[in-house]
């Protein structure tokens, strides 16, 4: 499979790239700074330098792709529409290129379905206040994806940590995973790649946790 990864130099995106290559996929890594991609040149990796306002470069990144992973991140605590704006650009380019499969990363913290009462009524309101701008952008992005007409999955991880993959991944469609509040970025990348080829999570929100 040929997978195009947006946000390929981010904390999770770089794991998606390396794990996809290790699994035998071809990868197009979309980056702003190629020097930040910690993967040496190889025949099954194409690196495309692109800003999301460069329509031609985004289209180039989708050439011959079978699936797209949006692992973009936001590095601001203030108001932002970056993720929603990026989703509009990526989904429009996918429709134009005829690429159907899309897996995007959002955040379990922006949702309360399936949470225990203490988490729903005590933890999440506080978390939602501190991350209100980030979550508002995430939720707007999710709406763009759902309305895209594409073959999408929205992956909802908890708090992310650095560290090696543990191989322990719990999944829940339609509601948050109870009793687990963190996972490594390496495990999240593995969950994302599982979702790319999993027919049971298409047109669904998929919560994951360690």
Report DSSP state, residue 13.
H
**Collapsing DSSP states into helix, strand and coil, what is residue 107?**
coil
Q: Supply the CATH number for residue 122's domain.
A: 3.40.50.720
User: Which token pair is 75?
Assistant: 């590095």
Q: What integer is the mean pLDDT of 125-142?
A: 78
User: Which token pair is 176?
Assistant: 């948050």
Q: Which domain holds residue 57?
A: 2-209
At 46-64, the pLDDT tens digits run 999 998 988 888 998 999 9
Assess whether pLDDT exceeds 60 at residue 126: no
Could you give the C-alpha distances from 13 to 46, 138, 174, in angstroms and in order? 15, 17, 24
**Pick the residue with more confidence: 113 or 108?**
108
Q: What integer is the mean pLDDT of 112-125?
A: 63
pLDDT band at 181 (very low <50, low <70, confident <90, very high): confident
Count of domains forming the chain: 1
Q: What burial letters (b/e) apply to 63-92, b meaning 16+ CB within 10 Å?
A: eebebbbbbbebeeeeebebbbbbbbbbbe
Assess whether pLDDT exceeds 90 at residue 179: no
Phi/psi for 112 (5° steps) reads: -125, -5
With pLDDT > 90 as the criterion, what percentage of the chain qualifies?
73
So what's the pLDDT on residue 84?
Answer: 96
With pLDDT > 70 as the criterion, what percentage of the chain qualifies?
91
């Amino acid at each position: 499979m040929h997978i195009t990864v947006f946000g390929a130099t981010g904390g999770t995106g770089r794991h998606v790239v390396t794990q996809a290559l290790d699994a035998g996929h071809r990868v197009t890594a979309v980056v702003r700074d190629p020097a930040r991609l910690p993967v040496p040149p190889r025949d099954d990796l194409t690196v495309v330098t692109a800003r999301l306002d460069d329509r031609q470069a985004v289209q180039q990144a989708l050439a011959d792709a079978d699936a797209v992973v949006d692992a973009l991140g936001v590095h601001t605590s203030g108001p932002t529409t970056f993720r929603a704006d990026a989703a509009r650009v990526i989904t429009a380019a996918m429709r134009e290129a005829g690429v159907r499969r899309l897996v995007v990363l959002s955040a379990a913290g922006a949702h309360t379905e399936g949470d225990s009462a203490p988490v729903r009524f005590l933890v999440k309101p506080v978390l939602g206040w501190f991350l209100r701008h980030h979550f508002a952008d995430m939720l707007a992005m999710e709406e763009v994806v759902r309305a895209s007409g594409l073959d999408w999955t929205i992956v909802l991880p908890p708090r992310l940590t650095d560290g090696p993959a543990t191989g322990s991944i719990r999944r829940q469609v339609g509601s948050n995973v109870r009793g687990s509040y963190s996972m490594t970025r390496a495990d999240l990348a593995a969950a994302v790649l599982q979702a790319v080829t999993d027919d049971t999570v298409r047109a669904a929100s998929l919560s994951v946790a360690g």
